[in-house]
Structure 1
Amino acid sequence: MSALLQGASAPAFVGHPGYRRMFAADALTLGLFLPLRFYQGDMRVLLGQARLVEEIDRLGFAAVWVRDVPLFDPRFGDAGQVFDPFTYLGYLAARTRRIALATGSAVLALRQPVDLAKAAASVDRLSGGRLVRGLASGARPGEFPADGVEHAPRGARVARG
């Protein structure tokens, strides 16, 4: 049976350290989604979040998730993300040992697939296989014009890969 038909039970997933942390059999797992607060120019807030990630890693949390938000949109109503998700996850990987490092979700329609694959593979390898990559087509229309991409046909662009 192909890995596609096996889904989450495929050996590629079952043997992946990040996946095993997040999807433990017969267990409730907890994670944390960053950022927790709006960034208003004070880097101490973001460094404090990194220290928090170190602590939840020590306590046995399953995952830390970061967003792929290229631009802050105050109309969207969330804290967004200041850092590139893969750079930030690399930073967090160096400060932690066990916690899964997850993107929730990388916006495929705004990234070149080869660059995205390289960034993800780099974090995964450097972290000992802890990256769990979430992908999305993009829900924030305001980000697309800045990248010279139309928002409406993003689904077709993602399907093309």
Structure 2
Amino acid sequence: MNTMASISTPAGASSPAFGAHPGYRRMFAPDQLTLGIFLPLRFYQGDMQALAGQADLVADIDRHGFAAVWVRDVPLFDPAFGDAGQVFDAFTYLAFLAARTQRVALATGSAIFSLRHPIDLAKASATIDQLSGGRLVLGVASGDRPAEFPAYGIEHAERGARFAQSVAYFRALLR
């Protein structure tokens, strides 16, 4: 990611800047308790049937006024980590769920910026946000599963610097 080294780190937007964003407004409605769910609802243990019907449940929670559905960006299964995480690709799954819902915010908890290229992150994020009517809420992280980094040819110790560079590049791309 040497091409990102020359991009300065802009300051983040203030909360009023998000006031017009449909997904943000849905999750952080003033003076209201909002509820969301985190997927997967059932842990994958080698049988995809455990995940069957989740999209139908998400469509139901959308109709019942839930604020958000969250998915985790877990690139690789690490049995030593203690959970199955998200089996589906977070962005592909959110796009699928966007097509099945009308109002619920679609949130990542969190996209691993240090393992993904900022161009791909920006395109996937902007696509889902546009196609869903502005319902994407993008949580970001540097990655907490050390086993994933060698698979990408990245040193775990470099994740902080990579994260900062990726966020700056991502912001520049979206401008």
Gaps of at least 5 residues in structure 2 are 1-9, 167-175
Work out whether 1:9 is the aligned partner of 2:12: no
Contact conserved, 1:36 with 1:79, CA < 8 A, in 2? Answer: no
Aligned equivalents of 2:13 and 2:107: distance in 1? 22
Gaps of at least 5 residues in structure 1 are none
How many angstroms does 1:42 deviate by?
Answer: 3.2
Aligned equivalents of 1:47 and 1:8: distance in 2? 37
User: Partner amino acid for 2:44?
Assistant: Y
Pairwise CA RMSD of aligned residues?
Answer: 1.5
How many angstroms does 1:71 deviate by?
Answer: 0.6
User: Partner amino acid for 2:158?
Assistant: P
Among 103, 111, 120, the alignment partner of 1:115 is 120
TM-score normalized by the length of structure 2: 0.85
Aligned equivalents of 1:6 and 1:159: distance in 2? 16
Equivalence for 1:135:
140
Aligned equivalents of 2:62 and 2:48: distance in 1? 21
Higher relative contact order (CA 8 A, sep 6+): 2
Query: Percent identity among equivalent residues?
Result: 72
Aligned equivalents of 1:35 and 1:57: distance in 2? 16
User: Partner amino acid for 1:44?
Assistant: Q
Aligned equivalents of 2:58 and 2:11: distance in 1? 32
Contact conserved, 1:86 with 1:120, CA < 8 A, in 2? Answer: yes
Equivalence for 2:164:
159
Aligned equivalents of 2:11 and 2:149: distance in 1? 30
Count of aligned positions: 157
Equivalence for 1:74:
79
Equivalence for 1:102:
107
